[in-house]
Structure 1
């Protein structure tokens, strides 16, 4: 199969019932779940940067404690592909809706329990052990969430609006991250002793309320007509992960390259940059958090705008523009951070988040959904996204911290690493076909042939 033939057919799938009502409900439910995923993960990243070192690794020094805390962050992302692939397997076999409800329960319970976890002063070595266990469950649940949300949204939307619809879960990422960062920033205004003793726990415990709202929205959503049609035609694969790797490895390799560029950028901007500017450059933590909050909320309309653009001019041009920006921006970004000016730090965060994530969230979700047939769609997206999330994304705060230490506090090694990952993404995107106009429907000749 040549690269120009990758993906699904060009045709129109007609969903049952009220297509417009289903689409709106799916977008709301998927976006709500994505808010939970990234609210939880952002809370953990912020706590790893600012709190978990002294509370759960008190015997280590400042650098060692930070690296240990970032190590637990990486552990959670290491669990993402395991959870992502397990949930994707059953999501492609028994349906999208039940598995997306399960991901909410796993993520919400683990995050709430982290908020109630005693520190090392109270229970000794069990504190970091239990922190790691809960982080594993948090990562496993989150690993399936975004791929499942994108699958459900794109299967409920026609091609002319698919990148925009995919952009809603992408924009919801920054509702979650921005909300978590804003709450955390407000709590840092507390006296240090109160913040470290119980203040940081509040947003973790509040996750339970958000999960209840998201669960209610998901209960109101129907299974996608595309999946039901595939099931009726006997086109549900018994081993979708095996099928995806065996017969769609070219798409998966290109997807791996795409997300090896996108995900590290997200965690550099949202986790490592905060630690770097506060601990290495001495920028006030509250000012840095405010800059990050502004950047995250600015990203919401930018992501939706680029999603709409990708529905007009195609997925690839927008994705390629994002990868080129990722190649040219790292060194200027660190020069802006090095000024230590709150305004320049904020501008660097805005550009890094808005122009990388903005150009990739909606177009990337739509393109991958249009590449894989119904019977392996969730599995194909999960493999493409969650393996880089674990291998490259989850380790980048730890790797970047180590690179800064090796360079004597200078960030040029980190900038070079980001450039290299962006080149990988550019190559992967260039090898993918344009998918604007393709259907994600089941039961058509190309689906059957796959």
Structure 2
């Protein structure tokens, strides 16, 4: 395969950096909400019921953000496949940043009454739309500037936005909690949300320096741009969209238990210090900076399905040991439990972007891959903390939660086997010009 020219290598580096920085900022905003939803929002925005009801209502707003993500994937997938990846990514970054800053200045229930949780929910919807449109474009900018033989590694770099965003958001909450002390629940939690304004400025500066994806430029050149790419993706690739959604069950549902629900479980059920749990999550997220690209690179060597399938199996096998380690309340074992939980997650997350994106042609790739990826937010990421909280409230035990994780792994393994394989040597139909028609 010919080597990339020097200008292309420069653009590849810019695309990878811009995608990674942008997704980091988007996930910082998204995870920040999840962390504070577990620690602060039940009392601040939902104080009228029991503490357990407040937690469920708070996680309910978290779920609303997930419901909005497929909408974001459809809306921005349409424009990403119609006008280009770059302009669309600038829009998603702005949308997410504005919503996050507004959450940071939103008064609580004591000031606005019922309007406070309503406005919080609306802003969470905007966050969900923004992050729903972000993933497809950021992954494709890295993938379409690089070599097909390195897609696992290249598309894993924007995936680093998850551990980086988790690292930054958890560090921001931990630092503000330590500095503001008793004032954290009253006003200290707002500082990380307001800091998002600075991060958005950095992200825009980086993204505006990147040229449009060469693959999309080729689609425009041969007049293969779809008028309604979302509908075209659904019509041509229904099985690819469905299986893309289902293979994520074993990755996304456990992940939000590992990084969000664990804070509620650890502080309420196990009565562990909040700062200790945040520190352990920081350590686990930092390890993800190595494990995510490692597993993406490994998928280039031995195959994406093999690496992904191993991650699915390990997640299912780890469901009971995970809570067993947490329930010891022994610091070292709790840390080990949290670290291992994110490693089995990263086994899937590293190769996941390439696994899903390669299933679609260039002219519907933003729409198709984005829809498949983000529909999992409705079936996996959004309901997971709610389901776990409800199981814990009803049973007082983590056993049912572990079986829930096992069930997700079984479904994902079946979906991985059913996911269509692109035949070797078949050209991307988007590179063939459409005939001129009236």
TM range (shorter): over 0.9
Once residues 184 and 436 of structure 1 are traced to their aligned partners in structure 2, the CA distance between those partners, rounded to angstroms, is 47
- Alignment check: 8 A CA contact 1:330 1:415 kept: yes
Cα distance per residue 1:415-447 (max 9 Å; x no partner): 111111111111111223566987996754699
Q: Which runs of structure 2 are paired with 1:11-160 in the superposition (5 Å)?
A: 18-160=7-149
Q: Name the SS for the 1:223 alignment partner.
A: coil
Calculate the aligned-residue CA RMSD, in Å. Answer: 2.1
Distance 1:435 1:320 in 2: 18
Q: Does 1:366 align with 2:354?
A: yes
Residue 378 of structure 2 is aligned to residue 376 of structure 1: no
Instruction: Answer yes or no: is the 8 Å Cα contact 1:229–1:442 preserved in 2.
Output: no
> What runs of 5+ residues in structure 1 fail to find an aligned partner?
1-11
**Superposition pairs of residues 95-244 of structure 1, within 5 angstroms:** 95-190=84-179, 192-244=181-233
Q: Deviations over 1:60-119 (max 9, x none)?
A: 221111111111111111111111210111111111111100000100000011001111
The Cα shift of 1:15 comes to: 8.0
Contact 1:277/1:283, CA 8 A, preserved across alignment: yes
**C-alpha distance after superposition, 1:27-55 (max 9, x if no partner):** 11111111112101111011110000111
Which piece of structure 1 moves more, 290-299 or 147-156? 147-156
Q: Spell out, residue by residue over 1:256-298, the C-alpha distance to the aligned partner (whole angstroms, 9 max, x if none).
A: 1111221112211110112111111111111111111100111
Which has the bigger relative contact order, CA under 8 A and spacing at least 6?
1
Residues 153 and 388 of structure 1: CA distance in aligned 2, closer, same or farther (over 3 Å): same
Contact 2:223 2:433 in 1 (8 A): no
Residue 431 (structure 1) aligned to one of 393, 418, 428: 418
Equivalent position to 2:408, from 403, 406, 421: 421
Q: Is the 8 A contact 1:171 1:304 kept in 2?
A: yes
Residues 313-345 of structure 1: CA deviation (Å, up to 9, x unaligned): 111110010011111110111111111112211
Q: 1:7-38, CA deviations, whole angstroms, 9 ceiling, x for partnerless residues?
A: xxxxx799898211111111111111111121
- Measured against aligned partners, the alpha-carbon deviations of 1:233-270 in whole angstroms (never above 9, x if no partner) come to 11111111111111111211211111122111221111
Give TM-score scaled by structure 2 length.
0.95
Give the corresponding residue for 2:398: 411
User: Which secondary structure state, in structure 2, belongs to the residue aligned with residue 188 of structure 1?
Assistant: helix
Tell me the alpha carbon deviations over residues 146-200 of structure 1, each in whole angstroms, 9 at most, x when there is no partner: 1221122111111221111111111221111111101111222245541122111
Query: What SS is found at the alignment partner of 2:66?
Result: helix
Name the structure 2 match of 1:5. none
Which of 254, 258, 261 does residue 247 from structure 2 map onto?
258
The 3-state SS of whatever aligns with 2:285 is helix
Q: 1:96 to 1:17 in 2, by over 3 A?
A: farther
**Partner residue, 2:273:** 284
Alpha-carbon distance in structure 2 between the residues aligned to 1:172 and 1:436: 31
Given that 1:226 and 1:441 are in contact with CA atoms closer than 8 Å, whether structure 2 keeps it comes out as: no
Return the alpha-carbon distance in structure 1 between the equivalents of residues 235 and 28 of structure 2. Answer: 35
Structure 2 spans left out of the alignment, 5+ residues: none
2:341 is aligned with 1:346: no
State the alpha-carbon separation in 1 of the partners of residues 79 and 432 from structure 2.
25
Distance 1:77 1:359 in 2: 23
8 Å CA contact retained: 1:116, 1:201? yes
- 1:112–1:208 Cα contact (<8 Å) kept: yes
TM-score for both structures, normalised by structure 1: 0.92
How far apart, CA to CA, are the structure 2 residues paired with 1:39 and 1:201?
A: 14
Alignment CA distance shift 1:439-1:336 (3 Å) = farther
* Secondary structure, aligned partner of 1:371: coil
Deviation at 1:391, TM superposition (A): 2.9
Preserved CA contact (<8 Å) 2:72 2:128: yes
Whole-Å separation in 2 of the counterparts to 1:168 and 1:434: 24
